[in-house]
Structure 1
């Protein structure tokens, strides 16, 4: 019996083993998407057997939900805390980006679980993903409203459009960041600050 197999079946507290599986599951689901992810690969990364994944989480859906809730809770809490600290409206976009980068610095693929186009549109997974996306969209609209009101723009549709664009910008920046493993959260926040200063004078 290999060392990995021993470590994967005995001597590791259940809570620690679940955390290891969720971490590996997040990377695999984020990399390959819900439809392309392999439970065999997740088990291999942790050094356990595939049946153990089902013993702990019941199904691929059960594991995905555990990964999704961990990622979604971490993200929405980080954004909420950044926005609750307040400050000048024009500084809020950078504050939110910095919070996201910090939250996901060691767990970058977590972001992808919230934007996975291969997810079921119905059922528990679809509902959970939609709930997190709705919360993030609401944060974006609040931030866009405060920023645009500070600039004298109050048209509802204009603000909705800006919030939509902002969500796409965040997604694109994090997607780029995932492919730059040498770029720390601090590096990425500083890069965004430089870019926004040149683009918008912030």
Structure 2
């Protein structure tokens, strides 16, 4: 009997098998980095052959690109969800961070995957990472425009500088959190709320 084009191995649908390979590979790439991960490692962890991985993704780079796309959609999707919930300004920033902590609490390897410095600087994976970064920056720009607009600040360079500052703050907080595995999502949200609240309240006191 001929194998159906969308069939996986041992009766597993191809889409489900691909999803499982991406899940396993994301953990590997997020733990050992692109340079430290081989297709054989992923195949062994997934209980399949290297040949099957290559047949689905074409190469290690293709597999890595698929993992980045999955990770980027996960994180950007949460940030976009917060952007639609009606919160603005500082509240939107805190809610965004809280959503990131919540969705990554049990899979912090996703953040390490997205921030992997051993990943190729060009090719399919770099293109995927670039699209993900553009989505995130667009959302950051939208939030900063609202925040600064409420303060009467509309200068384009001010907005640009603040977008880079906010993205740097997010990166630093996420890096710190991933390096402190005992810190849960709820604890980190409370910490961020305290820290940002202190900065804002200090600014208000100085202005008054």
Quickly name the TM-score band, shorter chain normalised: 0.7 to 0.9
- Kindly name which structure, 1 or 2, has the bigger radius of gyration based on alpha carbons: 2
In the TM superposition, residue 99 of structure 1 has moved relative to its aligned partner by 1.5
Partner of 2:182: 182
CA distance in 2, matches of 1:17, 1:183: 33
Asked if structure 1 preserves the Cα contact closer than 8 Å seen for 2:43 and 2:50, the reply is yes
Report the alpha carbon displacement of residue 62 of structure 1 after superposing the two structures with TM. Answer: 1.7
Instruction: List alignment gaps of at least 5 residues for structure 2.
Output: 1-8, 203-208
Counterpart Cα distance in 2 of 1:184 and 1:144: 27
2:62/2:124 contact within 8 Å kept: no
2:70 alignment partner in structure 1: 70
Shift of 1:128: 1.5
- Note the C-alpha offset of 1:80: 0.9
Aligned to 1:50: 50
The equivalent of 1:133 in structure 2 is: 133
Partners of 1:187 and 1:47 in 2: CA distance: 36
Report the equivalent of 2:149: 149
TM-score, with length taken from structure 2: 0.81
- The answer to whether the 8 Å contact 1:121/1:127 transfers is no
Kept in 2: contact 1:57–1:63 (CA 8 A): yes
Q: Give deviations 1:15-64, integer Å, cap 9, x for gaps.
A: 44333321221122123332332223223333333333223322111211
CA deviations 1:65-89 (Å, max 9, x no partner) are 2111111111111111101112241
Change (3 A) 1:46 1:179: farther
Match of 2:112 in 1: 112
Structure 1, 105-114 or 115-124: larger mean CA deviation? 115-124
The equivalent residue for 1:163 is: 163
Structure 2 partner of 1:3: none
CA distance in 2, matches of 1:12, 1:181: 34
- Cα shift at 1:97: 0.7
Structure 1 position 162, deviation (Å): 1.3
C-alpha RMSD over aligned residues: 2.2
Report the number of matched residues: 194
* Matched residue, 1:61: 61
Q: Which runs of 5+ in 1 are unaligned?
A: 1-8
TM-score, normalised via structure 1 length = 0.84
